[in-house]
Amino acid sequence: GNSVTQMEGPVTLSEEAFLTINCTYTATGYPSLFWYVQYPGEGLQLLLKATKADDKGSNKGFEATYRKETTSFHLEKGSVQVSDSAVYFCARQGGSEKLVFGKGMKLTVNP
Amino acid sequence: DGGITQSPKYLFRKEGQNVTLSCEQNLNHDAMYWYRQDPGQGLRLIYYSQIVNDFQKGDIAEGYSVSREKKESFPLTVTSAQKNPTAFYLCASSFTGVDQPQHFGDGTRLSIL
């Protein structure tokens, strides 16, 4: 079946560091790709999405580009803040399929 | 404000007892979903419904049941057949379509007494 593989962490960074979270997906069909964020004790929130190759999703300083040639959707932020501490999930959804999540990566940002 | 409301936030179950988790949405979404989240395992789909009066099993449906009598509501019952029910349960909803993101509630944490 279709799957998503992402860095699992946990990862600890200092404030203002550069962040990359790798995500690769199975290439069956033409899936839409998503990044979700989960803050402690809460549900998931959509962070950004991309629906076709070469699309770039962006929100709150985070960016991810839909790369069909490498089947990747890596999440990046140039300067993380303490408030970015959360768990990040990559996900794919294609055709009539259900949303498939990666296992999530816990990020802690220290001041 | 539109959104998804899950209740209660915390729930305790005794051995052999059924419990029902509530999920209500006012986003006019057609599809609704239930996920279970365990530490280190990400999210696993329990049940989903794309239309009123119809629902399908997800990856881990055993020991759970659902109903979808109204578009706005998708309650989940954790039955006594579910031997390891302690987890964080998340409800979500969305419009149908491959590019439609799911919107999540704040979850219910279920524990066994």
User: How far is the C-alpha of B77 from the C-alpha of B93, rounded, in Å?
Assistant: 18
User: Taking the CB of residue A90, how many other CB atoms lie within 10 A of it?
Assistant: 29
Q: Distance from CA of residue A30 to its chain's centroid?
A: 18
Name the more confident of B85 and A97.
B85
Check A104 against B42: CB less than 8 A apart: yes
Mean pLDDT of all residues in A41-68: 96
Cα A4 from Cα B13, distance rounded (Å):
33
Give the pLDDT confidence of B8-58 residue by residue, as tens digits: 999 998 888 999 999 999 999 999 999 999 987 789 999 999 999 999 999
Residue in chain A lying closest to B10 (CA): A41
Do A32 and B41 lie within an 8 Å CB cutoff?
no
The pLDDT of residue A7 is 86
Model pLDDT for residues A62-110, shown as the tens digit of each residue: 999 999 999 999 999 999 999 999 999 999 998 777 899 999 999 999 9
Task: Tell me whether A95 touches chain B (CB under 8 Å).
Answer: yes
Mean pLDDT of A51-56: 94
Looking up tokens 């590019």 gives B99
Looking at residue A18, its amino acid is F
pLDDT in tens, A13-43: 999 999 999 999 987 888 999 999 999 889 9
Preceding peptide of A40 cis, ω within 30°: no
Weakest-pLDDT range from A54-63, A76-85, B91-100: B91-100
Check CB contact of A44 with chain B, cutoff 8 Å: yes
Q: What stretch of H or E contains B77?
A: strand B76-78
First to last CA, chain B: 35
Look over chain B and give the mean of its residue pLDDT values, rounded to a whole number: 93
Q: What is the pLDDT of residue B1?
A: 63
Counting every residue, how long is chain A?
111
| Model pLDDT, residue B113 | 82
Neighbours of B113 (CB within 10 A): 7
Q: Rounded distance, CA B33 to CA A85, Å?
A: 26
Whether B107 and chain A come into contact, CB under 8 Å, resolves to yes
Look at B19 and B2; give whichever has higher pLDDT: B19
Kindly provide the b/e burial profile for residues B47-72, where b requires at least 16 CB atoms within 10 angstroms of the residue's own CB. Answer: bbbeeeeebeebeebeebbbebeebb
Distance between CA atoms of B72 and B32, rounded to whole angstroms? 9
For residue A4, what are its two tokens? 């998503």
On the question of pLDDT at B93 being above 80, the answer is: yes
Residues 6+ apart with CB under 8 A from A70: A24
CB contact, 8 Å: A57 with chain B?
no
